[in-house]
Structure formats: C-alpha cells, structure tokens
Structure 1
Amino acid sequence: MKPRNLLLIFTRNPELGKVKTRLAKDLGDQTALDIYKFLLDHTVAVTSSLPITKEVHYSETIRENDIWDASIYQKKQQVGEDLGDRMKNAFIEGFKNGYSNIIIIGSDMYDINSKELMDAFKELDAKDFVIGPAEDGGYYLLGMRKLEPAIFANKEWGTQSVLKATLQDIDRENIAILEVKNDVDYYSDIKEHKAFQQFFL
C-alpha cells in the first residue's frame, strides 16, 4: 500500500510586532513583517504543487482569504500550551486521520525547495524519522512515521539545545539526517544573502 504523505506547515499570523521579533530588533517591526511575508510567499511557492496533502496550522486565527489557497491547503488551528504541545497534537491528529508519513516545517525557511521536501518524504519510506538540522542548533524539518512523544517534551524551544536533545530522544531509532540549513531568525542570518538585499536598500 502506498504511504499517505502529510505535510504540516506551522505559521504565525503575519501581524506587525508579532513576527520575527529577533529580526525586528535590528531592522524594525515593519521590515521584519515584510521579510516574514516574503518568506510566507516562498513557502507557498515551494509547497503548493507538491502531490501530497498539505495542512496549514495557524498560530492565532484561521484566515479564509489569504495566501494559503483553501483548495490546496487544509486550514487548521494550532492547539496546545507550547510549541512542543502544538506540534505533537498536529502529528497525533495526522496519524489518527490515516496518514503514514508526516513531516512538519515552519513557514519562514528560504533555503529549501520542492525537491528537497519530496526527498524528505522518500527518506520516510525506509527510515522512521527524518530531521533537517538548522545552523542555530534547532531543526527546520521533522518527519516521522510513528509517534514519539518524547521529541516534543522538555525542550527549551528556540534555543540551540533543541536539535541535540531531540536526537538524544531517538538515538536508537532509524533516522535520516538531512543537510544542515540556515533558517531566518537574526539579521546576521540574511545580511549577506542576495534574496534579502531588497529589504536593506
């Protein structure tokens, strides 16, 4: 039986002063918001044509007429106390709904493309877990074909300890580790990056 693939996209509602707050310290709230919207557009561009089920999980409120086309993306609300809880609950629901390979990403990753996302799903045909390490010590992608709740507990989210602690949780498992990539949190992450120069003019 062919695996049923589900991509979970976690997104924050794009509101001034509430997104990319670490970027905003150097660039101001408006530029941080503009960059976040640019990253959202990129996420739509690399995910919209993927031949899999795609769910967008909103941090605050579900928006009907936004960049996430409801004919392509199923829209859901994040549920849980912290990021770990919210991710765990999204995976639980996905497995309950009959999906066998589930991957979660954020909506603010520029250095990823459609092929890399589909390759990550292919890894789950042979491995139980797939993880994309971020340069800052977190991860930009997490996939699994069986639920491991420990991954989502006792983490200091947003710190450089997350990846190491997560790998310790599944160190006896069959894991695929993807290429290390740079996610966008600080000005230093993007100041030399061509795609972002438009925001510094």
Structure 2
Amino acid sequence: MKTATKINTRLVVFAKAPQAGKAKTRLIPALGAAGAATLARHMLGRTLDIALSAAVGPVELCMSPTPDDAAWLGIAIDSAVQLSDQGQGDLGQRMACAVQRVTQLEPVLLIGTDCPGLTPALLQQAAEQLGAHDVVMLPASDGGYVLLGLKSPCPEIFSAMPWSTAAVAEISLQRMKALGLRVWVGPMQHDIDEPADLDHLPPELMNL
C-alpha cells in the first residue's frame, strides 16, 4: 500500500473582501450587515493565520475584487501571504484557473474562509495525503467541501457544477471516480453560512 508523503504544497485561500452588505449576506438576518462583515474579516484573518502556521508551503490569498481594489483598504494581511486576483467567471471557472496556474509548479490546496474547524494539523494531513493521492477533499456538512487539493489540472471537477447546493461534494466525487482518480476524503467539517451554523463558531469568534 502506498503511504502518505509530505510534499511542498501551495495553500490558496479564496476570499471576497469583507464588506458590509456584500460579505456573509446569508448571516445578515442574524448579525446585521456590519456584524456579518466583522465576522467575515475575523474569519479571513483566522484562516490566513492557520494556513501560515501549517507551514506546508507558500500561502496565497486569491482575492475578489482585485488586490488593489479599495474594498481591501484597512484589511490587515500578513506580509508573508502572496496576493492574487480570482479573475472572471463563476466559482468553478475561477477555481479551475487557480489550479491550472499553481499546479504548473507545485500541488495546491484550495480553501475558503468559512470553516472555523480548519486547523494547521488538518492542513498538514491533507498535504501529506496529497503525496499519495491525486485529489484530497474535506467535505462540509452542507454537502459542499471546505478543502480541495490537486496535483494537476482537472477542469472536469469544476465545470457546470451546481454551486451552493447540497450536491457539490457528491457530484465532485462521482466525477473523480469516473476519471479514475485516487481520492482521499478527510473528516467532515462545518461551514458558517446560515444563521443555524453560528452554533459551530469557536468561543473566540462568538462575541465580536
């Protein structure tokens, strides 16, 4: 049996600018526009800290809008984090482009900023498993996923996907199986998208 191997892996964090009225909009009924944006800003900072602490490779923040947009003014980002633009298209097209670009040089782990359960240890485990598999995934309880790792482009995984539905992870896994890819699926995590998800916030994010 092939064992997991540690490999240098780029961590790409996909994020929107944490602007009031534009970030975490499904949480606005519970937190208000300003409260939802504040939570988004703190979750962004927390995710970047965890990504840097994992020390599996370079950390990149893939941003929407572009890094030089005024929406990012006042958002503290560690100087060790590299900045990039998500570009155009739907989420699948933007993710596929990031994978295409990064995997020309190194494997990639894609994550968002919505999962408070991500830890340096989980990111390290995913990077190690990517050494023995073609794809790694951390599924989300809402039917999506909070992490996807690849060593080569695989646009079929991202095209014509019903994003923001409970079928995303299942359809993705079906496509991977059809392509004959070796897949590692890690422990299920929780995203913070809806008011009911606030039950999964860690104590340090409960009373911002």
Matched, 1:188 2:196: yes
Gaps of 5+ in 1: none
Matched, 1:142 2:151: no
Q: Normalization by structure 1: what TM-score?
A: 0.90
The alpha-carbon deviation at position 186 of structure 1 amounts to: 0.8
The percent of aligned pairs where both chains have the same amino acid is 29
Q: How many residues align?
A: 195
Q: Verify the 8 A CA contact 1:135 1:181 in the aligned structure 2.
A: yes
Q: Residue 178 of structure 1 aligns to which amino acid in structure 2?
A: G
Matched, 1:108 2:114: yes
Structure 1 CA distance for aligned equivalents of residues 27 and 73 of structure 2: 28
The residue correspondences of 1:24-173 to structure 2 (distance < 5 A) are 24-51=28-55, 52-62=57-67, 63=72, 66-70=75-79, 72-96=80-104, 98-99=105-106, 101-171=107-177, 172-173=180-181
Q: Verify the 8 A CA contact 2:129 2:184 in the aligned structure 1.
A: yes
Gaps of 5+ in 2: 1-5
Q: Verify the 8 A CA contact 1:129 1:144 in the aligned structure 2.
A: yes
Structure 1 CA distance for aligned equivalents of residues 181 and 66 of structure 2: 36
Secondary structure in structure 2 of the residue aligned to 1:28: helix
Secondary structure in structure 2 of the residue aligned to 1:191: helix
Structure 1 CA distance for aligned equivalents of residues 13 and 30 of structure 2: 27
Structure 2 CA distance for aligned equivalents of residues 119 and 57 of structure 1: 22
Structure 1 CA distance for aligned equivalents of residues 182 and 51 of structure 2: 26
What RMSD, in angstroms, separates the aligned Cα atoms of the two structures?
1.7
The alpha-carbon deviation at position 148 of structure 1 amounts to: 1.3
Q: Verify the 8 A CA contact 2:92 2:158 in the aligned structure 1.
A: yes
Secondary structure in structure 1 of the residue aligned to 2:48: helix
Q: Residue 81 of structure 1 aligns to which amino acid in structure 2?
A: G
Q: Which runs of 4+ in 1 moved over 3 A?
A: 63-66, 191-194
The alpha-carbon deviation at position 194 of structure 1 amounts to: 4.9
Structure 2 CA distance for aligned equivalents of residues 61 and 117 of structure 1: 26
Structure 2 CA distance for aligned equivalents of residues 193 and 12 of structure 1: 20
Structure 1 CA distance for aligned equivalents of residues 160 and 23 of structure 2: 24
The alpha-carbon deviation at position 138 of structure 1 amounts to: 0.3
Structure 1 CA distance for aligned equivalents of residues 120 and 185 of structure 2: 17
Matched, 1:20 2:24: yes
